[in-house]
Amino acid sequence: MSQNNNLLQRLDELNEVGIALSSESDINRLLEIILVAAKRITHADAGTLYLLDAEQKALRFEIMRTDSLGIAMGGMTGNPISFYPVPLYDKAGKPNHANVGAYAALSGETVNIPDAYTAEGFDFTGTKLFDQKTGYRSTSFLTVPMRDHEGEIIGLLQLINALDRETGSIIPFSNNDVRLTESLSSQAAIALTNRRLITQLEELFESFIGLINIAIDDKSPYTGGHCERVPVLTMLLAEAVNRTHQGPLSTFSMNDRDRYELKIAGLLHDCGKISTPVHVVDKSTKLQTLFDRIHMLDTRFEVLKRDCEIEMLRALLESSNSPETERIRSEFTSRIKQLDDDRDFLRHCNIGGEAMSEQSQLRVRQISAYQWRNTDGEVCNFLTPEEVNNLCIRAGTLNTEERQIINHHIDVTIDMLKSLPWPRHLKNVTEYAGGHHERMDGKGYPGGLKREQMSWQARMMGIADIFEALTAKDRPYKKGKTLTEALTILGKFNLDGHIDPDLFDIFVREQVYLSYAQQFLDPEQIDEVDVSKIPGYKP
């Protein structure tokens, strides 16, 4: 091959590398592409890529390759580099010009050395020791600084032992090698800087999200953990779906950008709760407002018991025979027992639960009809209409108005997310995050969307949101459920058209619940699950 043709081929390779550099988003892969491309274009046997550690004022080994010795460390290999960083200054603070890499980083100059053993001005003692141990012969060196768009040195490319393309013998690096490597170094530095800037912006953005969740957590410790756990569970389910190669979800797939988009949506899915009043979020009992009003009912019961006792004593004073006295005392004892039972019953109702029966609600209303004299001396019903309404809450601790306040957080979430100028690769965040309270049958909120109107990702988040809430240990109104209990309830939700049936099958079949439980649940919650007894699950 002629010299001109060889140069044209190498220029083509350089262009191809430039395209690859601009499209690579993983920094480790990016660094590997840079070094491998530099070795290929110069036909070098070995090479090292250093990155500048500005704080330590040193060059840190990132990737090393020596083809003839089979050495491959750093980058995507998983093999760590154990060498100490190269200091740019000695202990006295003087520039380390004896090391060729440090000199190139400090001066910004390319250094081309035909033979390290005869070169003057640089200390190659370490190189010679390496050669003695391995039988290698480090000869030609080409060290090229990597400059970012502001002209700052961010790293180095150091290539060793250029090989003749025909004979394979070691030769010095040519002027064309120098120019091509400098061109590659410039492209690589810009690509690396851009990737770092993007990564820093992503980290900054995620930190802002973290601040929002910290603010929610500071208002209520019961939602902060939720904001952390739902994204994890969502991603576990998404990865399980991504692994599925059968059924309706066999064609579903995610790339790294898709994963990042879903992760961000998970982190932001409840950001609207920052506007939800704390006394509603933290309402641990049905009668709680700023305090638990069950103690007010205790006082009223004591008043009723006192009135009963006064009535009994009056009756005894008026009674003149023993049978009548026994009857009065018996009725008093029975009434006191009834009041104690009623008090215990209301205390139990106040705690809340999965479902309150019609019979229990009827008993609350019967108790509410008791008459007592309040602090103003007025005779009134034992319970106010508002207290009856709260104590008869069918499930949980929130009444209709409070439930609407809680539900409003999703409207706030959507409004907040819609107001942001999302880049193209995050354009679905609002839809994913805003749909986790919709139902497959269209009875959810805020949009009343049906299954076919929702993305798979939004449906995944819906399952994650429910399962996390069922198993959460930090709710103020309930204990965290076991896996069997939570899956049973989730299965009933599936049968009721609440969640997506295909995703539910994968959630159970791939044991997504168990992967999550091992990270977040207490040991006593992780029981043995018999999936054949889970309602709505199709193995």
Kindly tell me the burial class for residue 476, based on how many C-beta atoms sit within 10 Å of its own C-beta (0-12, 13-18, 19 or more).
Answer: middle
| Alpha-carbon gap, residue 436 to 460, rounded angstroms | 8
What local confidence, expressed as pLDDT, does residue 403 receive?
Answer: 86
pLDDT digit string (tens) for 458-472? 999 999 999 998 998
Which of 54-63, 349-358, 421-430 has the lowest average pLDDT?
Answer: 349-358
pLDDT confidence band for 25 (50 / 70 / 90): low
pLDDT of residue 20 exceeding 60, the answer is no
pLDDT higher for 157 or 22? Answer: 157
Give me the phi and psi of 79, to 5 degrees please.
Answer: -90, 115
Residue percentage of the chain with pLDDT more than 70: 94
What local confidence, expressed as pLDDT, does residue 116 receive?
Answer: 95
What local confidence, expressed as pLDDT, does residue 114 receive?
Answer: 96
Average pLDDT over residues 468-490: 85
Tell me the three-class secondary structure of 134-168, residue by residue. Answer: HCCCCCCEEEEEEECCCCCEEEEEEEEEEECCCCC
Residues 6+ apart with CB under 8 A from 76: 28, 29, 32
Which of 132-141, 184-193, 378-387, 524-533 has the lowest average pLDDT?
Answer: 184-193
Residue 111 is inside which H or E element, if any? Answer: strand 111-113
pLDDT of residue 8 exceeding 60, the answer is no
Give me the phi and psi of 153, to 5 degrees please.
Answer: -75, 125
pLDDT of residue 10 exceeding 60, the answer is no
Residue percentage of the chain with pLDDT more than 90: 58
Which of 28-42, 117-131, 453-467, 480-494 has the lowest average pLDDT?
Answer: 28-42
Q: Which CATH superfamily is domain 3-198 in?
A: GAF domain (3.30.450.40)
What local confidence, expressed as pLDDT, does residue 71 receive?
Answer: 93
| Alpha-carbon gap, residue 150 to 190, rounded angstroms | 9
Average per-residue pLDDT in the chain?
A: 88
What own/partner pairs with CB < 8 Å and gap ≥ 24 does 345-352 have?
Answer: 346/294, 346/297, 346/391, 347/294, 349/286, 349/391, 349/392, 350/285, 350/286, 350/287, 350/292, 350/294, 350/391, 351/285, 351/286, 351/477, 352/285, 352/286, 352/393, 352/395, 352/396, 352/397, 352/477, 352/478
Which tokens is 193 given?
């800087």
pLDDT confidence band for 333 (50 / 70 / 90): very high
Q: Is 165 left (phi over 0), alpha (psi -120 to 50) or beta?
A: alpha
Which tokens is 285 given?
């009992």
Residues 6+ apart with CB under 8 A from 157: 34, 35, 38, 47, 48, 49, 142, 143, 144, 146, 181, 184, 185, 188
Kindly tell me the burial class for residue 164, based on how many C-beta atoms sit within 10 Å of its own C-beta (0-12, 13-18, 19 or more).
Answer: exposed
pLDDT of residue 2 exceeding 70, the answer is no
Question: Which of 246-270 are b and which e, b meaning 16 or more Cβ less than 10 Å from the residue's Cβ?
Answer: eeebeebebeeebebbbbbbbbbbb
pLDDT of residue 273 exceeding 70, the answer is yes
Give me the phi and psi of 500, to 5 degrees please.
Answer: -75, 125
pLDDT confidence band for 11 (50 / 70 / 90): low
pLDDT higher for 192 or 86? Answer: 86
Tell me 89's DSSP state: B
Which of 54-68, 189-203, 308-322, 453-467 has the lowest average pLDDT?
Answer: 189-203
pLDDT confidence band for 134 (50 / 70 / 90): very high
pLDDT of residue 218 exceeding 80, the answer is no
What local confidence, expressed as pLDDT, does residue 304 receive?
Answer: 92
pLDDT confidence band for 164 (50 / 70 / 90): very high
Which tokens is 183 given?
């061109």
Residues 6+ apart with CB under 8 A from 379: 371, 372, 373
Strand 71-74 versus strand 86-87 pairing type: unpaired
| Alpha-carbon gap, residue 369 to 387, rounded angstroms | 12
What local confidence, expressed as pLDDT, does residue 477 receive?
Answer: 58
Asked if the peptide bond before residue 446 counts as cis, ω within 30 degrees of 0, the response is yes
Cβ atoms 48, 39 nearer than 8 A: no
Average pLDDT over residues 105-115: 95
What local confidence, expressed as pLDDT, does residue 184 receive?
Answer: 81
| Alpha-carbon gap, residue 214 to 306, rounded angstroms | 49
Residues 6+ apart with CB under 8 A from 332: 308, 309, 311, 312
pLDDT higher for 13 or 331? Answer: 331
What local confidence, expressed as pLDDT, does residue 15 receive?
Answer: 57
Average pLDDT over residues 13-17: 58
Which tokens is 467 given?
């399962």
What local confidence, expressed as pLDDT, does residue 490 receive?
Answer: 96
| Alpha-carbon gap, residue 525 to 483, rounded angstroms | 6
- Select the highest-mean-pLDDT range: 40-44, 218-222, 276-280, 353-357: 40-44
Number of H helices, E strands in the chain: 18, 10
| Alpha-carbon gap, residue 539 to 537, rounded angstroms | 6
Tell me 65's DSSP state: E
Tell me the three-class secondary structure of 446-474, residue by residue. Answer: CCCCEHHHCCHHHHHHHHHHHHHHHHCCC
pLDDT of residue 487 exceeding 90, the answer is yes
Domain boundaries, the chain: 3-198, 220-275+413-533, 294-397
Question: Which of 217-237 are b and which e, b meaning 16 or more Cβ less than 10 Å from the residue's Cβ?
Answer: bebbebbbbbbbbbbbbbbbb
Average pLDDT over residues 502-525: 95
What local confidence, expressed as pLDDT, does residue 17 receive?
Answer: 58
What local confidence, expressed as pLDDT, does residue 282 receive?
Answer: 76
Beta-bridge mates of residue 74: 63
Cβ atoms 429, 231 nearer than 8 A: no
Q: Which fold has domain 220-275+413-533?
A: Hypothetical protein af1432 (1.10.3210)
- What is the end-to-end Cα distance of the chain in Å, rounded? 63
